[in-house]
Amino acid sequence: MLTFLTGGARSGKSSLAVRMAAASGLPVVFLATARPEGDDEWHTRLGRHRAERPQEWTTVEEPVELAAAVAAADPGAALIVDCLTLWVANVLDAGLDDGDVEAAATKAAAAAAARPAPTFVVSNEVGSSIVPVDPGVRRYRDVLGRVNAVVAEAADRAYLTVAGRVLPLLGPDDVVGG
């Protein structure tokens, strides 16, 4: 079962993914997409996140090859992918064009949906604000929006987190009829 969790920064989506994976009763693989390079605050933040995870969980750090990392995860373990937001930034920085990013996301979503154990994919919702002035930021926002839609389409369940609260997201067929 693939569950997609989206929302703003610090909305509770990652915490919810952790709680849901822990509640599964299965071993857990945490797939982190953050790159370890950066400033001191970034290193402190990543260290805090690593320390918060239960020691018995397996952590895989893969900033670019998302589909391969999802496919390689223990099929009997719950999988948390945290997060698409950083993954999109990483693959854009690596030079992928928009179509290639969407194709890679489609492949990763299919691998996640095919897993026998539950998978929880986390991503920020960045399209709810003003249109950015900078073309690079607009591109990032647009690509992440399409990636989020690809994963939500493949998901069995999708939720929006706001201020620590959770709203289920309906599919278009649930609204229009199908």
State the catalytic residue, choosing from 35, 49, 141, 157: 49
* 49 among known catalytic residues: yes
Q: What does the alpha-carbon distance between residue 151 and residue 157 come to, in Å, rounded to a whole number?
A: 10
Q: What does the alpha-carbon distance between residue 90 and residue 53 come to, in Å, rounded to a whole number?
A: 23
Instruction: Please list the active-site residues.
Output: 49
